[in-house]
Chains A and B, each alone.
Chain A
């Protein structure tokens, strides 16, 4: 019943191919729905995975320190004893950096509902194939870039706004930690890298892109009535 309804919704915009058309065209017509749903799944799965991580190496921390950033939280590694985020905060207070928990508080608070919304948009776009329906997939498509841009903003914001009265303020000037690759803060070498959650979201974006391109190409080829609908 529901399937028929969705089918009929879909048929409003993309006509069922004529019986003479090739199977490839049939497949292409269904591809966007498939990729959008898959992308929604990837996006939802990425909530549970880290998007970005940083390793801090210093002579007196032979095992290094490690922080993982998820869309809604930050953790260290799985060390049951050492809270690495707190340890990093503890070290950061010497250079006057604010506690990491103060970064991106708003973004982290809305991250989970926002990703649910983005996934919802993808599902709607999969089956609601109106003329401007493709616009729905643009926000989820751009999410990985938006995440990185926000990361970069906060890294810069934290690095540049050091407490001028901090103990090491004369030795360590405000700086911008690199969002990817190596940096140096005091005796710490930092290595920032993208993590599995971000890669999942990006794989989702590539799927969305494939679906989107398919839709647009189809629209351009031979569905003359659509522009006037």
Chain B
């Protein structure tokens, strides 16, 4: 009761601060005036706020200038972006353009086009992505705050984002597969970025009729080697593993005791091929007929050796370990899992693997020690493709009935696990009954908290690392139905912040955050102090693609326009509040190479640069250099200007490009 009272008084204090801030800003903008009007109790009463609401406000309200303790990276779904959100304030802090051109960041409108082009599919430009699962780079099984990877399910691609400037540096297209789902996940020291497949198909873009499904269609998991020195995925050191045409779903990397192993689940081990229009069972029924699917257990360390010893075939430039080679070398094992699972999550100590069959009310906990023993004992049977199957009873540690539609599991620092329940639209908290977690509680359900509505993934701070931070959980809900004002039939997603700091069944919903940029799938939460981003680029003339000074950067005093035949080179600087030069006189038919260097060093002194008609829009962050090229096909007068309100003379920060007709 005593702590209850002090908590309440803390909440009241925070509300008082809110009220102060409110009246300070509305009644006397910019002044340091004190609060006026009704006191906080009256306001709380008028708004119908309960004591619990006030506590939630105290835990989340973040006054101006206070920074968030955690940073959440969420996939941006069909927007092809990454969203960066502060926790516990749930403020959207940044959108990172990844798979889709984005003008504010100058991504794909004259600049950064080579990064986007890295994800082209042959000659086909892929101008959007379905970003799904962000993965922060890890060192020793902990987020190190240096890199972020994310997959594009639609086009089977992986992107690399540098967390020094929060910009995308590389996109690689999987040359074997159209799409992916089980990515991006990293090994505990980020040696590999894992990209599992999704819908089985002939490898390498080949054609085969659906009637050849069993013989010609294949599943896949790709291990992209990441080079920290260059900050790039190195395709020449990357390889893939051919899998039976089960629809591989999510993956996770083993850690600590299970480091060097990879776990992927699958569905449609029934090998259903659909065809509802032909009177066949639709996929949703055909792929759910069996009672179990297969958890894939992959020996990555051994697979790496097989790859390095050259026992691979090359398809579209990618080295692939064929399925029979994988079986011969004991790289791959299966074990049954509840059908149509949607998550495979390795516990913090690497000793358990948690799977939820979404059509089964249990979470199933597999023991790594038992898996190893079963492998050592020698599996008794194989599947149709010769892959050895470990008997479920040999490897299963426990099952906990958590509710309907269990999907994904995350872990906290108190020995609890949290599983999202799609059908129940709730989060279940259950205790890990093993040594090192909560042996005193056993493997038991502790409580559930409803969420609004239809939760997919969930995320706990550090919840997939070897040392979760706990405290906060965010439910990534697909539906929001009645949570926000009605603004037409397309509704936002709903991120709900939940306090999980208290033990047992105590969990409190703190905050609803609408997400209006497509459907985020997975998220990760890192402690803010683990990030170490630049405030401005380290030196004037910085090229964000190479992350070094561009030798072609424009120093003040060297601006100018030079001509070589019909090739015109424009060398320009930008500083508050002018571009130099302000007249660019060229001729129709010229090929123009234009470099702009921002001379700014002050934090946040960003300029934009647009040439209308020619489709150019750049973001010039302090110190940045950008080079773009175009054909001056259209004669006329084109005013170029700064697109970011940079200073009091911002509108004057302009110039004319005069394209003389031939």
Q: Considering the complex, give the chain B residue whose CB is closest to the CB of A76.
A: B601
In the assembled complex, which residues on chain A have CB atoms less than 8 Å from the CB atom of B577?
94, 167
| Contact A94–B601 (Cβ < 8 Å) | no
Task: Kindly state whether residue B487 has any CB partner on chain A within 8 Å.
Answer: no
Q: Considering the complex, give the chain B residue whose CB is closest to the CB of A83.
A: B601
In the assembled complex, which residues on chain A have CB atoms less than 8 Å from the CB atom of B601?
81-83, 86-87
| Interface of chain B: mostly helix, strand, loop or mixed | loop
Cα(A68)–Cα(B575), bound, Å: 24
Point out which of A61, A81, A83, A87 has the most chain B C-beta atoms below 10 A from its C-beta.
A81
| Contact A82–B536 (Cβ < 8 Å) | yes
**B: number of interface residues (CB 8 Å):** 12
Rounded to whole Å, the gap between the CB of B602 and the closest CB of chain A is 5
**CB-contact partner of B648 in A81, A82, A83, A94, under 8 A:** A94
Given contacts A90-B575, A90-B576, contact A82 B602 (CB under 8 A): yes
Cα(A125)–Cα(B538), bound, Å: 51
In the assembled complex, which residues on chain A have CB atoms less than 8 Å from the CB atom of B576?
90
Given contacts A86-B601, A87-B601, A90-B575, contact A81 B538 (CB under 8 A): yes
Interface size class of A (residues with CB under 8 A): 10 to 19
| Contact A167–B649 (Cβ < 8 Å) | yes
The interface bits of chain A over 95-131 (1 if a CB of B lies within 8 angstroms of the residue's CB, else 0) are: 0000000000000000000000000000000000000
In the assembled complex, which residues on chain A have CB atoms less than 8 Å from the CB atom of B536?
81-82
Q: Which residues of A62-90 have CB atoms within 8 Å of chain B's CB atoms? A: 81-83, 86-87, 90
Task: Kindly state whether residue B603 has any CB partner on chain A within 8 Å.
Answer: yes
Point out which of A61, A86, A168 has the most chain B C-beta atoms below 10 A from its C-beta.
A86
Cα(A87)–Cα(B652), bound, Å: 19
Rounded to whole Å, the gap between the CB of B622 and the closest CB of chain A is 8
In the assembled complex, which residues on chain A have CB atoms less than 8 Å from the CB atom of B284?
none
Cα(A86)–Cα(B623), bound, Å: 13
**CB-contact partner of A87 in B535, B602, B648, B649, under 8 A:** B602
In the assembled complex, which residues on chain B have CB atoms less than 8 Å from the CB atom of A167?
577, 648-649, 652
Q: Which residues of B535-553 have CB atoms within 8 Å of chain A's CB atoms? A: 535-536, 538
Cα(A83)–Cα(B599), bound, Å: 11
In the assembled complex, which residues on chain A have CB atoms less than 8 Å from the CB atom of B538?
81
In the assembled complex, which residues on chain B have CB atoms less than 8 Å from the CB atom of A82?
536, 601-603
The interface bits of chain B over 504-543 (1 if a CB of A lies within 8 angstroms of the residue's CB, else 0) are: 0000000000000000000000000000000110100000
The interface bits of chain B over 574-610 (1 if a CB of A lies within 8 angstroms of the residue's CB, else 0) are: 0111000000000000000000000001110000000
**CB-contact partner of A94 in B535, B602, B603, B649, under 8 A:** B649
Q: Considering the complex, give the chain A residue whose CB is closest to the CB of B538.
A: A81
The interface bits of chain B over 614-625 (1 if a CB of A lies within 8 angstroms of the residue's CB, else 0) are: 000000000000
Cα(A86)–Cα(B603), bound, Å: 14
In the assembled complex, which residues on chain B have CB atoms less than 8 Å from the CB atom of A61?
602
Q: Considering the complex, give the chain B residue whose CB is closest to the CB of A65.
A: B602
The interface bits of chain A over 155-175 (1 if a CB of B lies within 8 angstroms of the residue's CB, else 0) are: 000000000000110000000
Cα(A148)–Cα(B164), bound, Å: 44
Cα(A61)–Cα(B604), bound, Å: 10
Cα(A61)–Cα(B603), bound, Å: 9
Cα(A220)–Cα(B414), bound, Å: 88
Rounded to whole Å, the gap between the CB of B29 and the closest CB of chain A is 13
In the assembled complex, which residues on chain B have CB atoms less than 8 Å from the CB atom of A81?
535-536, 538, 601
Rounded to whole Å, the gap between the CB of A59 and the closest CB of chain B is 9
Point out which of A61, A82, A94, A168 has the most chain B C-beta atoms below 10 A from its C-beta.
A82
Rounded to whole Å, the gap between the CB of B14 and the closest CB of chain A is 23
Cα(A83)–Cα(B575), bound, Å: 14
Q: Considering the complex, give the chain B residue whose CB is closest to the CB of A91.
A: B576
Cα(A90)–Cα(B536), bound, Å: 17
Cα(A147)–Cα(B302), bound, Å: 75
Cα(A167)–Cα(B535), bound, Å: 29
Cα(A55)–Cα(B649), bound, Å: 24
Rounded to whole Å, the gap between the CB of A151 and the closest CB of chain B is 26
The interface bits of chain B over 474-485 (1 if a CB of A lies within 8 angstroms of the residue's CB, else 0) are: 000000000000
In the assembled complex, which residues on chain B have CB atoms less than 8 Å from the CB atom of A90?
575-576, 602
In the assembled complex, which residues on chain B have CB atoms less than 8 Å from the CB atom of A86?
601
In the assembled complex, which residues on chain A have CB atoms less than 8 Å from the CB atom of B602?
61, 82, 87, 90
Cα(A111)–Cα(B649), bound, Å: 39
Rounded to whole Å, the gap between the CB of A92 and the closest CB of chain B is 11
Q: Considering the complex, give the chain A residue whose CB is closest to the CB of B601.
A: A82
Point out which of B535, B576, B601 has the most chain A C-beta atoms below 10 A from its C-beta.
B601
Q: Considering the complex, give the chain B residue whose CB is closest to the CB of A168.
A: B648
Rounded to whole Å, the gap between the CB of A168 and the closest CB of chain B is 8
Q: Considering the complex, give the chain B residue whose CB is closest to the CB of A87.
A: B602
Cα(A167)–Cα(B649), bound, Å: 8
Cα(A167)–Cα(B650), bound, Å: 12
Cα(A83)–Cα(B649), bound, Å: 22
Cα(A81)–Cα(B621), bound, Å: 13
Rounded to whole Å, the gap between the CB of A97 and the closest CB of chain B is 15
Q: Considering the complex, give the chain B residue whose CB is closest to the CB of A61.
A: B602
Q: Considering the complex, give the chain B residue whose CB is closest to the CB of A93.
A: B576
The interface bits of chain A over 44-64 (1 if a CB of B lies within 8 angstroms of the residue's CB, else 0) are: 000000000000000001000
Cα(A167)–Cα(B652), bound, Å: 10
Rounded to whole Å, the gap between the CB of A72 and the closest CB of chain B is 23
Can you add 16 more A-B contacts, CB < 8 Å, to A61-B602, A82-B602, A168-B648? A81-B535, A81-B538, A81-B601, A82-B536, A82-B601, A83-B601, A86-B601, A87-B601, A87-B602, A90-B575, A90-B576, A90-B602, A94-B577, A94-B648, A94-B649, A167-B648
B-binding residues in A (CB < 8 A)? 61, 81-83, 86-87, 90, 94, 167-168
A-binding residues in B (CB < 8 A)? 535-536, 538, 575-577, 601-603, 648-649, 652
The 19 listed contacts between A and B (C-beta, < 8 Å) are A61-B602, A81-B535, A81-B536, A81-B538, A81-B601, A82-B536, A82-B602, A82-B603, A86-B601, A87-B601, A90-B602, A94-B577, A94-B648, A94-B649, A167-B577, A167-B648, A167-B649, A167-B652, A168-B648
